[in-house]
Amino acid sequence: MEKHIFNIPNISCGHCVMAIKNELTEIKGIVTVEGNPAEKQITVEWDAPLTLDRIQDFLKDINYPATT
């Protein structure tokens, strides 16, 4: 299992975190998604074959691009 903290400047509230969580949990391989709107971050845990790049691409597709 892999884990990464994504910085997402577009997060402005708890609703944004829930929207991201709802979208990401639909992807096969996502284990957990937690967010902190105050810090504009989400933490994602996933299993292979899902990759960091694929998650970043998906975040961009749903208008929450990650800066790291």
Residue 42's pLDDT is what? 97
Contacts of 29 (CB under 8 A, 6+ apart): 46, 47, 48, 49, 50
- Show the domains of the chain with their CATH numbers: 2-61 (3.30.70.100)
pTM for the full predicted model: 0.93
pLDDT along the chain (68 residues), means of 10: 96 96 97 96 97 97 91
